[in-house]
Structure 1
Amino acid sequence: MKNIIYLLLLSLSFACAEKVSSERKEQLASRSSDIVQTAIGPLELPSPYSTESAVKRSEIVDWPAGQTPVAPAGFRVERWADKLQHPRSTYVGENGDVFVVESNTRNSANRIILLKTDNGRVLSRHIFAEALNQPFGMLILDGYFYVANTDATWRYPYKAGQMKLDTSAGEKILATPPRGYNNHWTRNLLASKNGDKIYVSVGSGSNVGENGLEAEKNRAAILEINPDGSAMRQFATGIRNPVGMDWNPVTGELWAAVNERDKLGDNLVPDYMTSVKEGGFYGWPFSYYGQLQDPRWAEDPHSDLVAKAIMPDVPLGPHTASLGLAFYTADEFPAKYQNGAFIGQHGSWNRAKFSGYKVVFVPFDEQGKPQPPQDFLTGFIADAEAGEVWGRPVGVTVGPAGGLLVCDDDAGIVWRVSAE
């Protein structure tokens, strides 16, 4: 089993040499670029260290009064809910209730807000749960409300329409390694279509295993559990920071949005969304985009494992922080959006020029195969030269009336995009 092989390697391996000599960097930078074949066509990737790894963090400034992000012609964008504390993700109940997670790396509200809605309008808001620990993923399944905190997944008795979660009645069903490298603290949840399994995404605890691979146990992985937390296993590994997850409505495959590694240059390595194969290994930390070796593992390349690394399906651009993922299956949007995927890109911090800071759309054809991504919701960058942004999109969810809900993390807003 691939999972067993990977676990053995984790227990036996040492940390990578994160710092590569200047001479070696020059040798690598002089190489020709690599061309790989993805599901949407060939992708040219620069050689490692062909550019410096920059640091350019964004500064949040207030949205001007009346201004919104920009959607394509034929769509309307509205400030659906605001004055939230770092809204990260949303979840929609069958009765139209919308749950909003408020959490952050620092000064986290650690709570869930309930929005009562009617025909796409917010009627009222309530504190549904509080005193959590960096929550992110949510799920309603068989009489339980599940919450994925950074260090554990909990479930609580729940009935549709319930206004407040009784956290004293909670049951811890799965411990997960807490926090992680550069905000890899999010843990997302997704139930199988028949509800007999739950999938939990866990990001890496490091950039490329520099703290030793024993510290990466059950990280950089999508875990599978029974609804009561039993029978935990690694469904897929080597997938550095998977956050958004959803089911391809045509093929039934699990798909995930994944953040790739840093410090190889401005344009390496592109984040991606991909179908996730059971037992699949996606390269981290030893390789990227299939068999392209990470030079920081040159002395311990794990060649046998790298040979099995799966090529990601859809590149989404370098350092975009592609986090949210939702397939669109409602009826409100035009037909071209049916069964396609929306991805929330939180935006770069380690690139000379900003990348991300938008929502992109990936069309899928009638066979459920992806096509090249296209911009959908833009206008989050206020002044790129000054490093100022109005917002940073994260979670994307199809709302109760068919519109797209977009969590604008640092701005404290949930935007709603609807067809005119």
Structure 2
Amino acid sequence: MDAISRLNIVTNEVDIMQFESFVEESRDWWDAYFRHIKQLDKEGRLYPKDRKFLYPNIIVATQCKGYYLVELMGAVRSYSTLVTKRHREDSIYRYLSQFDDGEPNPVVTFDSSNNALRFLCLSQKGMRDSALARFPHLELYQTKVRNVDGHGSVLAFGDKFRSCAIENCVLVNTRDQLVRCKGILWLGILRNSVTRSELVDLFVKVTESGEIKGVHPTTRQRDARLTLAGQLQSMYLFPNLRETTLGEFFKLHPDVIKLAFKTDCFKYEPYLEWIEHDGTVTDEAINPDLLVQRPDGFFDIYDLKTALLDITRITKGARNRRRFIEYVEEGVSQLANYREYFRYPRNAAYAKDKYNVVVENPKLVLVVGTFDNVDINEVEQACRKYKNVEIVDYDTLCQMFMGSPQDNDP
């Protein structure tokens, strides 16, 4: 308790926190906490000795109507820092259910202060067998609670609710035939009328038991892979997520790219100035999301879009006129622009000198969509007019990561 108390921030009992203060103080508190845990680990004072911990490296602060949320995300072997991401969502129920903001018939209703849930799988109705195939991290949760007549968010909040903490849980959300999972490492939910003292009180009560909180405990090598896969899926199934936040996740977890795309080398967001062009280029530079090295030493070009959670199909038109929706079409056009950059010798020389990258006959890969809105046959038909263009959805990327050889687990 004394060690944790030293991390506390001086608070004003009556001041209602503005969102930016909530973000900064949450980030500073958890950063101080994990640095304390890191020091204990360095001194060999963490128990049990046979258990390994995966630490977060992203903190997502979200402002919803009536609520503030702070969520720890990521899974790395050694704590370094927390990258702060801000998010805005109209409804807390859409944030939790991943589908809509309708009034739920929940599994659990919170209606007081400092409530907590740990190590649970919460779901509405029955969980389909196909869910485990798509979301393999579900096997990590042995205790399952479901509401057979439920709908909407599995969590709800009463009039007297002030704060709660969700730790190492997974929320299984369904709508019609669709299933999504939100894996939660640690999530704090508070009324947006929260005071500084209430915020710190929640953090202190969460951590005062002496158990390490905000981390993924693992005992098997496979658990680390499952945990990271679950974090990836929770990230791309995050409603209204910005592309930059998703890209940050890949930047901070390079093993996902290396194992999924079977590469030892990739460049994240290289900044390449136009040195040579045909005179029509108005951009100063290209900034592709990823350049991924192939076995032959040359690099392919990748662009990361979002999962398009509110789109039912990424293609349109009948088979004989099958084409992509505009968002995907723009992504493919952007990739073609990147390819054109490398066709100019001075640009190619500049890229080799700056990043040691050589691009020749590149594959253009757009990562977009999920199993819910990507039909492989329709995608192949829409790709007929392109050369060396591939579409990879995020669920397939996750399966590629899970299916890669096990000896290089993160």
TM-score range, shorter chain: under 0.3
Q: Which has the higher contact order (CA 8 A, sep 6+)?
A: 1
Write 1 or 2 for the structure with the bigger share of helix.
Answer: 2
Q: Which has the greater radius of gyration?
A: 2
The structure richer in strand per residue is 1
